[in-house]
Amino acid sequence: MEMRLRAKQFILVLLLPLWSFAQNDSTDGDGMVYSRYVYKLDFPIRSGSLVASYQNEREVLYLTDKSTEANVQAISYSNYYTVEKEFQAHSLIKKPNGHYKKKKVKEFSKKTITSSGIFYDDLVREGCSFPGITPGSKSVLKFKSIISDPVLTARCLFNLELFAMNIQCTVNVPDYMKVRLAFFGDSTGITHTTVKTATSTLHSFSAARRAPITYEENSLNVMYYTPHLIVVPISYTLNGKETKLAGTVENLFSRYVKILKEIPAADNKELNKITDSLTAGMTDSAQKVAAVFNWVQKQIRYVAFEEGRGGFVPRCSDKVIANRYGDCKDKANVVVTMLQRAGVPGYHVWIGSRNKPYTYEALPSPHSDDHMIAATRLKGEWIFLDATASEVEFGMPSAFTQGKDALIHLTDSTFLVKQVPVMTAARNLIRDSLKVKLTNNVIEGKGTRIVTGYIREKYESRTAETHSIAPDASDFPIGNNKVVISNLESAMKGPGTLQSSYEFKLSDYVHSFENDTYVNMNLIKDFQREFIELEKRKLDIEADYQYTISQRVTLDIPDGKTIAEVPGNRSFSNEDFSFDIRYTKKGNQLILEKTITINHLILQKKKFADWNRMIEGLTKAYNEVVILRKN
């Protein structure tokens, strides 16, 4: 499985088999509805162990000629954890008299799923094409399987990719088993009933006429707003012996400790040699941690593996060092091992990306995490070390883990759940300083840009393939599209700070009439006209990080001219976003100072109107000009 982020791609460390139907990519779903969608889950005992029995049945109704072109459907499953499986599929072709003729599907296609950045993936997609589909026809696809690890069961969603006439979810809980039924989202319109049988309790969830999932650009993962059920096995008892699985943080941690104990033994000769060389002469723990982190971050290439149990168990550190590549858990294990060699406590950490809407308390399950990092404690503060973020500054968490629960392995019997800090807007800065003058109504200037935090990481990550840290001219949208950027140079100025300097000329921007010259000093118009369409936008908007934009424009007043008119200062203040624009006259110069602050990771829908008011204020400020008059 693959976790996609806007800035970068990181592959899931924990393989969670999501048995989910997929429609042919050639359709947008118009004219197709689920007439019936059934999810069944049971937990039988097989060969002395608990397994999960999973069934999924989908009936799709095709309403239009366009929809009949999308008659290819498939299901994805883990080839490792799915120990038994059975497919059945048939078309129900509508006849003129209104009855249906059944036509069985005889051939299924099968292929391994591949994604960018994945070296090996044990997910398999198996599907078929339904014959004879015409408007009014139906397709029926049934899938049954036995999942060897009952903790890795699928989620039941109550909004799907298509409109659903009926969704049914049944969970049979045997008396020898304890479960946690974790429901997330708005349960309006979803009924839940229970029936006690002689040997189990049957839970039934049902919903009718469910709208399809809404997808919008820069929105949160669908699990944040789609009602869904996750069944988390707590334990089962067989022959008087209770086996704990998950369902509590303690159980989940014990499961993960067992996984760590599966890490193959390593002699670590090369690792020890490298660590000793990196930390030679250092007495400060922070220096040692930084040296180790930076080396693993840069020298161990991130390559994802998703192969059954290997999707959970870190590879031995000497193999990762020898190969010079590994996935997130491999890199985390190398960091921990090197820190221990350097005499600094290092800890394995399980964590969910911001794609996951869960806390460990609400959902003590592998569904809550999809990533592994390392951590250490310096001067009483936890430092989270994600070496998969190849350009993130030491001391900062990866952007996509901000605010998330971190499950820290202290010892094999003790753990700590700690929330990863959210980096403040001041920590992620883009600051432009422009000094400009007028020459025959052409603006000539010099600029300096300083970027820090995740903004610097974004620049470096984007240019990693060219081995350059420099922004390019397109990063400086000054004035209009006629600007010419020259002599652009960039260099690191201290830890975590990238500085760029450049020169520019801007034509057809300054206007004159009679004795007056009109100059708009807002040379960089961030967020110009970035209004949210209140009638169309349905979902909250996610930001990668909080940040601050700071600009200072210094205009030399030409000889023979005076300042006749200066726009008033403007500002807008909100706890989630703000701006401030001020003009100051200093000697023979006029200075514009602008600050825009984005103080949120999630822009909630209830704040959209306030956002538009801020953009309206910015737009007015961007349209205002300074008037210079001949003496």
For the stretch 139-192, pLDDT in tens is 999 999 999 999 999 899 999 999 999 999 999 999 999 999 999 999 999 999
Q: What is the mean pLDDT of residues 55-60?
A: 95
pLDDT at 121 over 70: no
pLDDT at 568 over 80: yes
Mean per-residue pLDDT over the chain, rounded = 90
Asked whether residue 594 is domain-assigned, the answer is: yes
Quick one: 298 and 415 in the same domain?
Answer: yes
Torsion of CA 189, 190, 191, 195, to 10 degrees: 170
Asked whether residue 240 is domain-assigned, the answer is: no
Asked whether residue 615 is domain-assigned, the answer is: yes
Q: What is the mean pLDDT of residues 503-529?
A: 93
Quick one: 388 and 308 in the same domain?
Answer: yes
In this structure, which amino acid lies at residue 281? G
Quick one: 230 and 138 in the same domain?
Answer: yes
pLDDT at 10 over 60: no
Asked whether residue 247 is domain-assigned, the answer is: no
468 pLDDT band, cuts 50/70/90, is low
Quick one: 107 and 210 in the same domain?
Answer: yes
29 pLDDT band, cuts 50/70/90, is low
Q: How far apart are CA 296 and CA 461, in angstroms?
A: 16
Q: How far apart are CA 547 and CA 550, in angstroms?
A: 10
Asked whether residue 239 is domain-assigned, the answer is: no
Residue 631: the pLDDT is 86
Domain boundary, last residue among 386, 419, 452: 419
Q: What is the mean pLDDT of residues 349-367?
A: 96
Q: What is the mean pLDDT of residues 373-390?
A: 95
Quick one: 19 and 56 in the same domain?
Answer: yes
Asked whether residue 253 is domain-assigned, the answer is: no
| Number of domains into which the chain is organized | 3
Q: Which pair of structure tokens corresponds to residue 594? A: 């602008």
Asked whether residue 221 is domain-assigned, the answer is: no
Residue 13: the pLDDT is 29
Quick one: 207 and 271 in the same domain?
Answer: no
Domain boundary, last residue among 356, 385, 419: 419
Domain boundary, last residue among 402, 419, 436: 419
Q: Are 620 and 613 in contact (CB under 8 A)?
A: no
Domain ranges, residue 337: 259-419
Using CB atoms within 10 A of its CB, is residue 486 exposed (0-12), middle (13-18) or buried (19+)?
A: exposed
Quick one: 412 and 465 in the same domain?
Answer: no
Quick one: 175 and 322 in the same domain?
Answer: no
Instruction: Classify residue 286 by its DSSP letter.
Output: H
Give the domain CATH number at 339.
3.10.620.30
Spell out the residues 6+ positions from residue 63 whose beta carbon is closer than 8 angstroms to its own.
Answer: 31, 32, 33, 135, 136
297 pLDDT band, cuts 50/70/90, is very high
Q: Between 328-341 and 285-299, two packed helices, what is the crossing angle to 10 degrees?
A: 150
Q: What is the pLDDT of residues 205-222, one digit of tens each?
A: 999 999 999 999 999 999
Quick one: 323 and 434 in the same domain?
Answer: no
pTM over 0.85: yes
Asked whether residue 467 is domain-assigned, the answer is: yes
CA angle (233, 210, 606) in 5-degree steps:
90
Quick one: 366 and 494 in the same domain?
Answer: no
Percent of the chain with pLDDT over 90: 78
Quick one: 59 and 194 in the same domain?
Answer: yes
119 pLDDT band, cuts 50/70/90, is low
Regarding predicted confidence, which is higher, 199 or 479?
Answer: 199
Give the domain CATH number at 124.
2.60.40.3140
Antiparallel, parallel or unpaired: β 304-306 and 325-326: unpaired
Give the domain CATH number at 481.
2.60.120.1130
Q: What is the pLDDT of residues 389-410, one digit of tens each?
A: 888 999 999 999 999 999 999 9
Q: Which pair of structure tokens corresponds to residue 306? A: 């998703």
475 pLDDT band, cuts 50/70/90, is confident
Quick one: 7 and 89 in the same domain?
Answer: yes
Q: Are 36 and 58 in contact (CB under 8 A)?
A: yes
